[in-house]
Every structure is written in structure tokens, then in C-alpha cells.
């Protein structure tokens, strides 16, 4: 497939300065970042493409090569260990690049020691895998440890991951004679250019497998699964993700395994809705309690609590239970629980009650006020709309 031009992807001119490139990329990254587009593979693809373009154009050396030779130059020129040919530029590469320059891509960097630039580049690496796990608000509030079964490629037991049949051994690659790379001469408008590229027969290893392991057909890995323990800290939100290193697919022939990217989803709660780190619920009270006042029980994420309802409480009134919301991720403290009162009206009442209510209806105390601006403004303030 023809690759799109990097300048075109970022929407900048070929004479764009470093700052232009950075800000163009930042805009695209903020728009397409997986955190903002959970489950949207198109956005993920755009995020990867923009990051790849940015990685090349921000680096004067890579940019120069790209300007001269296009994508082919980057794919083959030696010394671009950074993204070894770009073939393996995957989501985690993109997320790391974004984090390195803009920070805050993943909330878990500090937990997993994946700070800027700390992850060495890997060749022959297994693919990253991505899973989603659903969490209840209670699990999010308390933090939770989950063990999930992940289907992934694992090292082949028969050959120990080497891909070589038992009793056999590797032999020198006939194409590169063991060098692992080949020299090619190509003609460009600048003249002839000599390029050193990894040997495609042995994939740069210098050796090939003459007699392949029958369990894995020489790949060194087979389909399998692993139980992965995932420790979710309190306070995560839907769309947040964490990276579990080395739990992606095993790499062919004893390379480094990929990572497992765990994306969180939030289950709907039957009582609470979440707004940032606050939780909100509606509490029905009787109109006698609203009128006379009293103590009622309200649910929280940590069990029931009782609150005092003052006499004359109007529907829509909000009570705040400080610190009863979701913990703030990584910074201590918690959000609040907001309890909004509504007055429950019985659909039918017994005859004796009806008689009582008729008497009350005649009383002046039960005449509602006339509609007025101030009354509704007050309601509006309470509802925050
Ligand atoms: Zn094998
Ligand atoms: Zn070779």
C-alpha cells in the first residue's frame, strides 16, 4: 500500500519549522488519542500515522533522509534504530512517542517504570495485544486486582522458542553468507546510492533454520494463553489504559515479547452516575419527610449513610457528602457524592389517608406559591443547568 506523505498527514508545508510540526502533531494527537476515542480503530490508526510522521519530521536527520528518498530511504537506511524500518511502528510506539514529548499519555507511566525514553527499542518483537476490562464503580473506587486469561502467542515448548527441530541446528544463511545484511546499489536522481539492508532470507540473523520444529513450523511460538494479573489502582476512568510489559505476543525465534495494553471500561451503575470523580444519585423522600424534616438513609460506594433532611426541603435540593465519591487517581483525596432530592408522590392512597389529605388540601400551609422567576431560578441553580 502506498504510504501517505508525512507532510500531508500533519497538514504542514515542506518548509514547516520545528514548532509548526510540533503544534500540528499535537493537535492531531489530542484529537485521535486512544484515551479520547476508546474502541475507535480508525482514530487509533490516525493517531499512529500522525505520530509516525511526527517522529520523522521532528528529527532533522530523518527529515533530511525522508526529503531526499521518501519512505524508502527511511525503511532501508542503516542507523535508524529508532523505529527499525517503521514496519513495526505500532500503537505502543506511538503512545510512547506521544508521552515522551507531551506527557500524560498514559496514567500509568510512573507505576510501570516506562518514563520518557526508558524503554529500549526492540527488534524482532512480538505484537502488542489489546484487551478491555469492565469495572464497576465500586471496583474503581476501591481499586481492584483482576486475573484475566489472555489468548496470545507463547514460546514453543518443543524447541524452546528457537524454531529449530530437536537434534538439528541452524545453518549459515546462503544469501548473506552469515552477515545478516546485504548491500544494494540503487540509482536515484542524486546518483547511485549504496544501501545496506537486512537480509530478507534470514531476517538479519545470519542463520536460517534447515530443519524446522514441527510444533511451531520454525516460528518458535505457538498459540496459547496466559493468566495475567492486572492491578487496577483506585480512581481510573473509562478509556484509561495501562501497559503490562511482555504480555503481548511472544516474538518469533526468541525475540522480545510485545506488551499487553489493557483498556478500562466503566460498567453502568444502577444507582450512581459518575461526573469526573463525583458521583450523583437521586433520592426519593416522602412529602411528609420533606415537610417535617427527618433522617433518611442514602447509599454510598461504601455502604449506606444517613443524612438529615431539614423541614421544608424542596425537590431538587442537593446534599453533598464530602469525600464519598471516587478517589482522585494518583493524587490523594476523593470526589464527593451529590444526593439530589425528589419528593415521591404516592400513586394511590387508602381511603382514610385520602380523607386526611383532603383536610390538608384546604389548609393555607399547603397552597403552593405562584410561579415566579426566582423560584425557577433557584431550581435551575440547584440543577446546574
Ligand atoms: Zn518449536
Ligand atoms: Zn541472510
Domain ranges of the chain: 1-121, 273-383
Quick one: which ligand is closest to 172's CA?
2
Cα of 346 to ligand 2 centre, how many Å? 83
Contact 318, 309 (CB under 8 A): no
Cα of 211 to ligand 1 centre, how many Å? 11
| CATH classification (class only), 1-121 | mainly alpha
Cα of 172 to ligand 2 centre, how many Å? 8
Compute the distance between CA of residue 352 and CA of residue 189 in angstroms, rounded to an integer.
101
pLDDT-flagged residues of the chain (< 50): 76-87, 104-122, 385
A 10 A CB-CB count for 42 gives 9
pLDDT confidence of residue 123: 54
pLDDT confidence of residue 72: 73
Compute the distance between CA of residue 348 and CA of residue 86 in angstroms, rounded to an integer.
71
The answer for 223, left when phi > 0, alpha when psi is -120 to 50, beta otherwise, is: beta
Global pTM value: 0.58
pLDDT confidence of residue 113: 32
pLDDT confidence of residue 103: 60
pLDDT confidence of residue 73: 67
Q: For strand 294-300 and strand 241-244, is the pairing parallel, antiparallel, or unpaired?
A: unpaired
Residue 130: phi and psi, rounded to 5, are: -135, 130
- Architecture of the domain defined by 273-383: Sandwich (2.60)
pLDDT confidence of residue 354: 94
pLDDT confidence of residue 41: 85
Cα of 209 to ligand 1 centre, how many Å? 11
pLDDT confidence of residue 190: 64
Amino acid at each position: 500500500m502506498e504510504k501517505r506523505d508525512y507532510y500531508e498527514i500533519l497538514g504542514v508545508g515542506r518548509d514547516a519549522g520545528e514548532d509548526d510540526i510540533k503544534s500540528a502533531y499535537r493537535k492531531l494527537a489530542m484529537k485521535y488519542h486512544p484515551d479520547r476515542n476508546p474502541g475507535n480503530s480508525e482514530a487509533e490508526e490516525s493517531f499512529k500515522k500522525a505520530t509516525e510522521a511526527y517522529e520523522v519530521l521532528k528529527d532533522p536527520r530523518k527529515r533530511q533522509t525522508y526529503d531526499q528518498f521518501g519512505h524508502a530511504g527511511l525503511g532501508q537506511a542503516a542507523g535508524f534504530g529508532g523505529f527499525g524500518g517503521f514496519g513495526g511502528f505500532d500503537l505502543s510506539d506511538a503512545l510512547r512517542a506521544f508521552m515522551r514529548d507531551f506527557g500524560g499519555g498514559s496514567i500509568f507511566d510512573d507505576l510501570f517504570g516506562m518514563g520518557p525514553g526508558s524503554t529500549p527499542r526492540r527488534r524482532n518483537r512480538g505484537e502488542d495485544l489489546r484487551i478491555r476490562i469492565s469495572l464497576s464503580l465500586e471496583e474503581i473506587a476501591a481499586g481492584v486486582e483482576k486475573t484475566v486469561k489472555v489468548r496470545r502467542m507463547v514460546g514453543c515448548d518443543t524447541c524452546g522458542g528457537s524454531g529449530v527441530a530437536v537434534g538439528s541446528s541452524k545453518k549459515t544463511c546462503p544469501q548473506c553468507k552469515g552477515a545478516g545484511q546485504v548491500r544494494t546499489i540503487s540509482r536515484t536522481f542524486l546518483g547511485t546510492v549504496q544501501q545496506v539492508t537486512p537480509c530478507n532470507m534470514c531476517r538479519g540473523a545470519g542463520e536460517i533454520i534447515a530443519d524446522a520444529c514441527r510444533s511451531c513450523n520454525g516460528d518458535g511460538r505457538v498459540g496459547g494463553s496466559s493468566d495475567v494479573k492486572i492491578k487496577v489502582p483506585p480512581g481510573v476512568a473509562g478509556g484509561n489504559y495501562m501497559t503490562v510489559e511482555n504480555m503481548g505476543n511472544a516474538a518469533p525465534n526468541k525475540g522480545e515479547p510485545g506488551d499487553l495494553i489493557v483498556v478500562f471500561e466503566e460498567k453502568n451503575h444502577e444507582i450512581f452516575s459518575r461526573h469526573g470523580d463525583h458521583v450523583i444519585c437521586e433520592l426519593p423522600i416522602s412529602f411528609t419527610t420533606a415537610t417535617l424534616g427527618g433522617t433518611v438513609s442514602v447509599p454510598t460506594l461504601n455502604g449506606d449513610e444517613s443524612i438529615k433532611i431539614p423541614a421544608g426541603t424542596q425537590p431538587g435540593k442537593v446534599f453533598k457528602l464530602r469525600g464519598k465519591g471516587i478517589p482522585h487517581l494518583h493524587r490523594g483525596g476523593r470526589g464527593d457524592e451529590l444526593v439530589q432530592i425528589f419528593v415521591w408522590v404516592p400513586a394511590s392512597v387508602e381511603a382514610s389517608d385520602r380523607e386526611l389529605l383532603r383536610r390538608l388540601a384546604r389548609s393555607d400551609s399547603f397552597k403552593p406559591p405562584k410561579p415566579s422567576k426566582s423560584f425557577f431560578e433557584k431550581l435551575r441553580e440547584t440543577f446546574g443547568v
